[in-house]
Chains A and B, each alone.
Chain A
Amino acid sequence: MISVKVKAIMDIADLFGCNEQVVSLPEGSKLSDLLDALGRKYGQAFAEILSKIYKNEKEKHNRDLHLFLNGRNIVFLEGLETKLNDGDELFFLSPVGGG
């Protein structure tokens, strides 16, 4: 098994009930497997987020939600097909602005 740290803020942190959690997955899992595992844990509300993520995957000009694996936007990795390693960190960046 591998452990992946999942970080989230704002609406998604509210859904998760925390900003950080660790999820265990079988060796060889991909990012999509991690999302499936979270889908099983958080049900319908997370399914809606998932559909956004899958929609964004196809859209070049996504402004909704961004996923960062070990700090890197997954559009610069293999997207949802990216293979996960023990100790990886996934961050859900909800739409944010200002600053």
Chain B
Amino acid sequence: MLKGGYMGKILRVNLTTQTYAEENTTEELASNFIGGAGLGIKYLFDEVPAGADALGQDNKLIFAPGPLTGTSAPCASRMAVVAKSPLTSAVGMCTTGGYFPAELKFAGYDALIIEGKAERPVYLWINEGKVSFRRAEKLWGTNTFDCQQLIKDELGDQNIRISCIGPAGELQSRIACIINERRAAGRKGLGAVMGAKNLKAIAVRGHKTVPVACENDYREARSRMLKTMKESPVLYSAFANTGTPMVVEATWGLGIFATRNWSATGEWNPVEKLGIKANNSRKIGKEHCYNCPVACSQLKLAREGIYTGSLSVPEFETIYAFGGQTGVDNLDSIIAADRLCDELGLDSISTGVAIGFAMELYEKEVLTKNDTDGIELNFGNHEAMFKLVSKIGYRKGFGALLADGVKCAAEKIGGNAEKYAMHVKGLELPGYDVRGAKAHGLNYATSYTGADHNRGYVFQEIFGIPEPEAVDRFAYEGKGRLTKWNQDIRTATCDCPTMCAFLLDMAFPANAAQNSADMLSSLTGLNFTPQEIEKIGERVNNLARAFNVREGFTRKDDNLPERILTEPLKEGGSKGHYISRTELEKMLDEYYYERGWSAEGVPTRRKLLDLGLKNAAEELEKMGVL
């Protein structure tokens, strides 16, 4: 019997049969996987068969907050959303914050597993233990903001929390996301999985409280956590007032603000037009996630031209995607494009990268106006960039070509288009030009979700933080060990319990495992040591890897785009640097060694058994790869 942190139940919903059942959250599951990403990936591995169509009946969509979610722990607002990704065919895992994840706990659930496919559009209404399947034909076609409001009105409660898809998810765009409030489970096309299930939205309301096992210990652990947050040199000062756009300036200084489809990184200074002052001049307020004392989300209002009146929270990655990547320096257009992505339910990173990719092909005359519906798609053309967003979201005209991401678009275009498609395993690259941050490159190559900064962010290289040790960002030696550490610690301390990952680099780079052990042990009454926390991170990363191996991924998929491997940066703070093929292979060798995997990147039987993943070992054995 679980004493704290967990609500004790997992809700399983079948859309085909329109039935639901409750299952117990077991102590074994809690001790070995904590919750969040760990729990989601465990169910994904066990229940989604190898080779399942990500947009078919067999894929499952799992929403999993963690034990800390919905408690008084600061910044524990999140949940993992997990499915097989239709964009990458690998594990699709995103986290999202806001208020929906905590509400799912208040409704009594540690996770929600969605199976099957509804015959007609529906939305789920989870009201404290009661589940109803409601018709959503009228909602089909609405944008995500209107959808949320219409459901609240229909159910007569403005405090209901809603996760939903927009038109992009309905049209099964493989870069569609899931939106709750103004937050996104943004990447890997999870919105398409929801759309393929004919599930427009999930509405949740609950009034339960999350139990605490050892009140005194928990209170003390929480005080220590808050104290450490206060000691951060940046969290409550610059970050709370600026948010992630400050990273535009840092990456410019380091020469890694990826620019013009990564063809001109370091050759452009974005600070004046896209930096902190420009962002702050559009700021009209702040938003925060459940029980977050930081409130990093900076609400911005576009004030010029056709973009006037658009309101959004463009984060660093969005500024990269619609700014650096497309060469656009008009911040108002970026705010408007971000808003449009949220409304349509599109991943802003993948959308911007797709547009920048098309721009380069247009400039190289691989694409012409005949292909682009008459749009002059030059780098820097903000109106063209903005127009394309809705074409992608609605799969209209030229937008349909980009609506499934750059890998798919490059295959359709043919020729040498793939050379300009900036992705790993199909997932578009986030905004750090890894030629000047090599462990970050290794993380893009090996993350179980594809090119994902969030699965192993290398704050040692990007912010210079010397934990667990100082790192030379241009070196490749030692990066295998570092990448394993970053991936495991982030999984275990952020993606599973949950904790907003911004705290990891800004407050807990040196003692995240201890903090999680203290918080989780006192909350749940289970005994988590820092060593076990790290091991859970390793377990989850190995299980995710086993899923990908079972899907047919091999060492050759742990790759980087050709441009990264062949074109040194020409200007800026990382001038002359790139990751050579030899360096990538050496980093992979070291990484696999550190992980205890074979030279082919397959977890060994010994490693899987050591982590208690007997089932995964048997599955890989059946395939003959172990």
| Chain A interface residues (CB < 8 Å from chain B) | 7-11, 13, 19-20, 60-64, 66, 68, 70-73, 75-76, 89, 91-99
Contacts and interface: CB of A to CB of B under 8 A. Distances in A.
Nearest to B464: A66
B524 interface: no
A63 B233 contact: yes
Contacts of B509: 63
B558 to A, nearest CB: 23
B465 interface: yes
A9 B243 CA distance: 15
A68 B457 contact: no
A96 B250 contact: yes
Contact of A61 (B254, B272, B436, B467): B467
Contacts, number: 118
A10 B276 contact: yes
B448 interface: no
Given A9-B252, A73-B472, A96 B246 contact: yes
B533 to A, nearest CB: 21
Nearest to B459: A97
18 contacts: A9-B253, A10-B246, A10-B276, A11-B238, A60-B470, A61-B467, A63-B465, A63-B467, A63-B509, A71-B254, A71-B436, A73-B472, A73-B473, A93-B463, A94-B250, A98-B247, A98-B315, A99-B317
Given A75-B466, A91-B573, A68 B254 contact: yes
B323 to A, nearest CB: 14
Contacts of A89: 573
Contacts of A71: 254-255, 436, 473-474, 573-575, 577
A91 B252 CA distance: 10
B269 interface: yes
Given A19-B269, A19-B271, A89-B573, A10 B249 contact: yes
A7 B432 CA distance: 19
Contacts of B473: 71-73
Interface residues of B, number: 50
Contact of B463 (A7, A11, A97): A97
What are the 8 A-B residue pairs with the smallest beta carbon separation, nearest first?
Answer: A66-B464, A97-B506, A9-B249, A98-B244, A99-B247, A95-B234, A95-B233, A96-B250
Contacts of B252: 9
Contacts of A62: 466
A73 B276 contact: no
B466 A94 contact: no
A53 B575 CA distance: 25
A60 B466 contact: yes
Given A61-B510, A68-B253, A99-B453, 17 more contacts: A7-B573, A9-B249, A9-B271, A9-B275, A13-B249, A19-B272, A70-B573, A71-B255, A71-B436, A71-B573, A71-B577, A72-B473, A91-B254, A97-B232, A98-B243, A98-B247, A99-B462
Interface in B231-285: 232-235, 238-239, 243-244, 246-247, 249-250, 252-255, 269, 271-272, 275-276
A55 B276 CA distance: 28
A33 B462 CA distance: 27
B505 interface: yes
Given A71-B577, A73-B473, A93 B453 contact: no
Nearest to A61: B466
B250 A93 contact: yes
Interface string B278-303: 00000000000000000010000000
Nearest to B471: A73
A89 B571 CA distance: 12
A92 B250 CA distance: 9
B573 A73 contact: no
Contact of B238 (A75, A96, A99): A96
